[in-house]
Amino acid sequence: MASLESRKIGILGGGQLGRMAQEAASRLNISLTILDQPVDAPAKQINAIQPHIQGAFTDADKIRELANSVDVITVEIEHVDTAVLFELEKQGKEIHPTPGTIHLIQDKYEQKVHLAKHGIPMADALDCPDDASIQDAGQRFGFPFMLKSKTGAYDGRGNYVVRSSKDVADARSHLAPGAPLYAEKWAKFDRELAVMVVRSVTGEVQSYPVVETVHKNSICHLVFAPAQVGRGLTGTKDATFAHSIAERARKVAEDAVASLAGAGVFGVEMFLMDNGEILLNEIAPRPHNSGHYTIEACHTSQYENHLRAILGLPLGSTAMKVPAAGMLNILGNGDRTYLACEMAYSIAGATTHLYGKKECKQGRKMGHITVVGDSMQQVHSRLLPMVCALDPADQSPWNLDPLVSIVMGSDSDLKVMEAAAQVLTKIGVPFELSLVSAHRTPERMYHFGRMAHKRGVKVIIAGAGGAAHLPGMVAALTPLPVIGVPVRGSVLDGVDSLHSIVQMPRGVPVATVAINNSTNAALLAVRILGSSDPAYLEKMTVFMEEQEKEVLAKIDNLDEVGWANYEVKKH
């Protein structure tokens, strides 16, 4: 009986990335043979159906032995012997990504030269064959700048911060002696982003959502997906960006991977600069720590997509199946190593992955925890206790995109609209508030309307008085629900605004609330969020119960003091 897939894969390396690839392979009955030194390497532990190969993934003979028993070769680590891979490629062996790509990526400077040729934005770099050229880099880039080993670097190793011209000797001795070096201009970034890209054998590329990565001691600590990069793009100045930050980051990552050869998954790390610019940092030619979240949070995990890509199968959807996810790495830390995992048992949406590593060295990647949620806010609240338990100092507030955007035509509307902000603050909804005038800032309004849903906004509240065009005009520009608040002016009691806002033509609805009642606009926004997010549905239910209790208390009071003595409290 034919199975679904009969071709065999061989993989260089059997660590945690190989282990998670093995999980995906088992589910599809795909045969994976693992080359790694330990008999009980993490990946080998969960594959009992064929003999693996015991040896270093840098050992040419072992690689040849592996090649003899499989149809396709891939890697879970880029620090492999490419000479033998080139040799095997010449003999017609299928290897993904290609030895050329692995070789290029092994040299971070060559990688940069290649990507620069393809127009990928990166921090300026300079080859540093000698001390003079390092001093030259200081002249050109200013201090501090980064001095980096071209090869063999990972998790921050092989990097040195040169703070003044006196540091050069130190830098030389700190980095591997004799290692080829290059200098890189200091990237004063706002945040670090990453995108996993999968490339098919025919060169088609498809990217996963942009994530934010948080490093600690140069090792990946936290990942948030999708990256919360939507706040504060409502200004006319920012609107010069025709695309959102997330769209631009995906484009950079896809273009970079499209420039390489061979199939598989690639991890692309980037910097988001203060001015909104995206600079590529480096590429890993394999599944990556910043893509672990895809197992629980995306339609097809990076591991399954890597297998599909190298076998020439259709690529799986890279879309997220949950609204938000976070990932926390579990690093070796003595008795405290599994503290977060123990807590994770009681946290909804948390899934623990342990890698089966026998020895628990300090700082070693022992596992990770992925947390999913109905909103990034929920993901934060689920992650926070674990992160704080590991390090109480680690409480920096994480980024959160606004779900509701409150806009108004004039600052004179703020006295009416601030009630909406108060309600959202009290209920705990992330929101933004700004001025957008249909008549005085039409360009800003246009970009605001067109971009809102791309920034993660779910509901727009627009307040306006008099002719009150803002809610309807924004509704004409966005596919999102727009709530209109008629603001009462000095004449006509607000009926002018009400009719302007509510009497929209067929085709473009505005959800209109009572005159001056921005409280209800905010509550309606919460109801809209709650129609898909159970946490907000619950918050609305609690709000309604409290509202009922308040009135019931007034009834008790009225019964107690009698109607004649009853005093009506002001709102």
Q: Does 227 bind a second copy (CB under 8 A)?
A: no
Return all residues near 272 (Cβ < 8 A) that are at least 6 apart.
189, 190, 191, 192, 193, 229, 245, 249, 278
CA pair distance 152, 78, nearest whole angstrom: 9
- Judged by CB under 8 A, does residue 6 bind a second copy? no
Residue 55 per-residue DSSP state: S
Other CB atoms within 10 Å distance of the CB of residue 392:
8
Tell me which stretch binds a second copy (CB under 8 A): 145-153, 201-209, 271-279, 331-339.
331-339
Amino acid identity, position 317: S
Q: Residue 549 Cβ, how far from a second copy at the closest point, in Å? A: 12
The residues near 220 (Cβ < 8 Å, ≥ 6 apart) are 155, 213, 214, 289, 290, 329
**Cα separation of 524 and 85, whole Å?**
61
Residue 275 or 346 having the CB closest to a second copy: 346
- For the chain, give the number of residues: 571
Tokens of 32: 């994976």
Residues 497-536 touching a second copy, rule: CB under 8 A, are 498, 502-515, 517, 519-521, 523-524, 527-534
By CB under 8 A, is residue 378 in contact with a second copy?
no
Residue closer to a second copy by CB (options 248, 539) is: 539
Q: What does the block give as tokens for 278? A: 């995206």
Name the residue nearer to a second copy (CB basis): 158 or 367.
367
Q: 397-429: b or e for each residue (b if 16 or more CB lie within 10 Å)?
A: ebbbbbbbbbbbbbeebbebbebbbebbeebeb
Q: Which of residues 485-504 bind a second copy (CB under 8 A)?
A: 498, 502-504
Task: Give Cα 483 to chain centroid, integer Å.
Answer: 29
Is residue 309 a contact point for a second copy (CB under 8 A)?
no
Q: Please give the Cα distance from 59 to 63 (Å, whole number).
A: 6
The values of phi and psi at residue 47, to 5°, are: -140, 105
Nearer to a second copy, 425 or 547 (CB): 547
Using rule CB under 8 A, residue 338 touches a second copy: yes
Least CB distance from residue 526 to a second copy, whole Å? Answer: 9
By C-beta, is 316 or 466 nearer to a second copy?
A: 316
Q: DSSP string spanning 182-212?
A: EEEE---EEEEEEEEEEE-TT--EEEPPPEE
How far apart, in whole angstroms, are the C-alpha atoms of residue 444 and residue 239? 7
Enter the tokens of residue 232: 């504060």
Q: Least distance from C-beta 537 to a second copy, angstroms?
A: 5
Min. distance of Cβ 44 from a second copy in angstroms?
Answer: 6
Binding positions for a second copy, 238-257, rule CB under 8 A: none
Stretch that binds a second copy, among 97-105, 152-160, 179-187, 349-357 (CB under 8 A): 349-357
Query: What is residue 493's DSSP assignment?
Result: G
385 is an interface residue for a second copy by CB under 8 A: no
Of 1 and 564, CB closest to a second copy = 1
- Alpha carbons 34 and 1: distance in angstroms, whole number: 26
Angle at Cα 206 formed by Cα 265 and Cα 72, nearest 5°? 35
- Asked if 140 touches a second copy (CB under 8 A), the answer is no
Indicate the residue among 118 and 361 with the shorter CB distance to a second copy.
Answer: 361
Among 68, 165, 218, 317, binds a second copy (CB under 8 A): 317
Stretch that binds a second copy, among 97-105, 128-136, 350-358, 389-397 (CB under 8 A): 350-358
Residue from the set 181, 327, 459, 474 that interacts with a second copy by CB under 8 A:
459
> Can residue 272 be called a binding residue for a second copy (CB under 8 A)?
no
Buried b (16+ CB within 10 A) or exposed e, 202-236: eeebbbbbbbbbbeeeeebbbbbbbbbbbbebbee
Q: Which of residues 43-72 bind a second copy (CB under 8 A)?
A: 44-49
Question: Which CB sits closer to a second copy, 42 or 138?
Answer: 42
Q: Which of residues 91-130 bind a second copy (CB under 8 A)?
A: none
- The residue (of 445 and 459) whose beta carbon lies closer to a second copy is 459
Q: Which is nearer to a second copy, 291 or 316 (CB)?
A: 316
What is the C-alpha to C-alpha distance for residues 302 and 265, in angstroms, rounded to an integer?
A: 7
For a second copy, which is the closer residue by CB, 191 or 292? Answer: 292
Which segment (42-50, 59-67, 82-90, 463-471) binds a second copy by CB under 8 A?
42-50
Minimum CB–partner distance for residue 61 and a second copy (Å): 24
Indicate whether 177 belongs to the interface with a second copy (CB under 8 A): no
Residue number with CB closer to a second copy (249 or 298): 298
Cα–Cα dist 234/253, whole Å:
25
The answer to whether 321 contacts a second copy (rule: CB under 8 A) is yes
Q: What is the 3-state secondary structure (H, E, C) of 275-302?
A: CCCEEEEEEECCCCHHHCCHHHHECCCH
Of 97, 323, 463, 466, the one binding a second copy (CB under 8 A) is 323
The count of residues interacting with a second copy (CB under 8 A) is: 91
Q: Considering beta carbons, is residue 104 or 498 the nearer one to a second copy?
A: 498
Q: Is 319 in the site for a second copy (CB under 8 A)?
A: yes
The residue (of 51 and 152) whose beta carbon lies closer to a second copy is: 51
The three-state secondary structure class of 397 is coil
Using CB under 8 A, pick the residue from 151, 351, 381, 410 that binds a second copy: 351
Residue from 55, 356, 385, 489 binding a second copy (CB under 8 A): 356
Site for a second copy in 538-557 (CB under 8 A): 540-541, 544, 547
Both tokens of 407, joined, read 């806009």
Residue 371's DSSP bridge partners are: 326, 350
Would you count residue 174 as binding a second copy (CB under 8 A)?
A: no
Which of 274, 359, 443, 560 is in the footprint of a second copy by CB under 8 A? 359
Q: Tell me: does residue 564 bind a second copy (CB under 8 A).
A: no
- Give me the residue label for tokens 């993660």: 456
